């Protein structure tokens, strides 16, 4: 009887052991139970976490937000004391007004120089007229002198008047050249004044930008992380005063390289989120990383060693989450995810398409 009992117990133990091995093989998706579904628990929800930092230095005078508060684009996150920057703006505006006044003065100087040129031209015409009259009188007197009709003294007087009229013409022409040079000087200096005006306008714009940057606002809609800024705190350029996380999220699943042979962009993915009671979400493969995760590490492994052991590498896969799903608004970056891809779905879709073409 004991032999029979031992015989039965042995077979029961063997059966239980075999069943255990079968369960393990099935649970781990190993042959002969290896199916078409590839799964990884090395997956996480990802999002764009934007660090909020000031572009100016100063004391915080207002921080109207709190940790984990939802904000919209343009909402005030913190304000820096703007008194210095407001005065710098007024100073820049005064410098611009001075530059504009200098430019206006240059315009008046240009008009005055042009008027002087016209006056010099009129003086030249008057001098030429006087010169013609003096030359005519000199010619007539010389002719009368040759005929012994006019005395020598009259000839000398008309000759002196002729020389004086000729000198007056030269003087008027020289005055015109001086007026033209004055105009050229004003025109050249005007370009410098115009450059000063543009520089002053740029300084006003920079001062306006600095004044606007005293208000640190939300760059987009989202939810704030921990707000580190405090009223009265001195901050400098790049000081982290908080962060904002937009609503758009996705999943990055790190599949082993041995799991990727049947995967392609557009395939459906089943996502299970641990933090939401293993709630299932639907997604689609968007794209694959251009290299394995180890290639992006700071310290890369050197496989050129004598004791090399081959290890399957993992390649990040970006997965888009389908919109308008239950509890999708509760997904936040960093959550752990289990991603499953049925690599046979592409073959099934191709078979259905071929069958549809054959029927039609």
Kindly report, residue by residue over 177-190, the tens digit of the pLDDT. 766 666 666 666 67
Q: How far is CA 212 from the centre of its chain?
A: 17
Using an 8 Å Cβ cutoff, are 106 and 186 in contact? Answer: yes
Return the percentage of the chain with pLDDT > 70, whole number. 64
How far apart CA 160 and CA 182 sit, in angstroms, is: 33
**Which pLDDT score, from 0 to 100, does residue 310 have?**
77
Query: What letter does residue 43 receive in the DSSP assignment?
Result: E
Question: In the numeric block, which tokens belong to residue 194?
Answer: 């115009």
Average the pLDDT over each of 15-29, 111-125, 135-149 and give the range with the smallest value: 135-149
Write down the pTM of the prediction: 0.62
For domain 54-79+217-240, which CATH number applies: 2.160.20.10, 2.40.50.100, 1.10.3720.10, 2.60.120.260? 2.40.50.100
**Is the model more confident about 274 or about 21?**
274
Give phi and psi for 155, each to the nearest 5. Answer: -65, -40
**Which pLDDT score, from 0 to 100, does residue 353 have?**
43
Q: What is the CATH number of domain 83-212?
A: 1.10.287
In this predicted model, what pLDDT tens digit does every residue of 196-234 receive, in sequence order?
Answer: 888 999 999 999 999 999 999 999 999 999 999 999 999
Provide mean pLDDT across the span 331-335. 90
**Which pLDDT score, from 0 to 100, does residue 133 have?**
65
**Which pLDDT score, from 0 to 100, does residue 349 have?**
45
How far apart CA 233 and CA 272 sit, in angstroms, is: 43
Using an 8 Å Cβ cutoff, are 242 and 63 in contact? Answer: no
Q: Does domain 36-49+244-300+309-359 match CATH 1.10.10.10?
A: no
Number of residues that this document lists for the chain? 360
């Amino acid at each position: 009887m004991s032999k029979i009992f031992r015989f039965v117990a042995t077979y029961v133990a063997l059966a239980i052991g075999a069943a255990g091995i079968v369960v393990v093989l099935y649970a781990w998706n190993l042959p002969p139970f290896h199916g078409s579904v590839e799964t990884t628990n090395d997956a996480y929800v990802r999002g764009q976490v934007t660090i909020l930092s000031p572009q100016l230095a100063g004391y915080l005078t207002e921080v109207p937000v709190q940790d984990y508060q939802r904000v919209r684009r343009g909402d005030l996150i913190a304000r820096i004391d703007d008194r210095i920057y407001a005065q710098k703006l007024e100073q820049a505006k005064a410098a611009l007004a001075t530059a504009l006044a200098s430019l206006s003065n240059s315009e008046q100087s240009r008009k005055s120089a042009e008027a002087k040129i016209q006056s010099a031209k009129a003086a030249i015409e008057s001098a030429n007229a006087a010169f013609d009259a003096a030359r005519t009188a000199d010619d007539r007197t010389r002719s009368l002198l040759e005929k012994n009709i006019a005395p020598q003294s009259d000839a000398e007087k008309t000759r002196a008047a002729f020389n004086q009229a000729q000198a007056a013409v030269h003087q008027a022409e020289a005055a015109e050249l001086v007026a033209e040079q004055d105009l050229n000087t004003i025109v050249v200096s005007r370009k410098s004044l115009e450059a000063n005006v543009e520089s002053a306008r740029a300084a006003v714009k920079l001062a306006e930008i600095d004044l606007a940057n005293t208000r640190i606002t939300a760059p987009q809609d989202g939810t704030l992380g921990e707000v580190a800024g405090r009223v009265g705190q001195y901050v400098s350029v790049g000081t982290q005063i908080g962060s904002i996380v937009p609503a758009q999220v996705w999943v990055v699943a790190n599949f082993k390289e041995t799991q990727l042979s049947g995967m392609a962009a557009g395939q459906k993915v089943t996502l299970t989120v641990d933090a939401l009671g293993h709630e299932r979400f639907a997604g689609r493969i968007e794209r694959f990383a251009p290299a394995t995760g180890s290639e992006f590490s700071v310290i890369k492994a050197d496989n050129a060693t004598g004791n090399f052991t081959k290890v399957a590498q993992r390649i990040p896969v970006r997965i888009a989450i389908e919109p308008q799903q239950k509890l999708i608004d509760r997904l936040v970056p960093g959550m752990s995810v289990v991603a499953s891809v049925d690599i046979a779905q592409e073959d099934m879709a191709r078979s259905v398409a071929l069958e549809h073409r054959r029927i039609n």
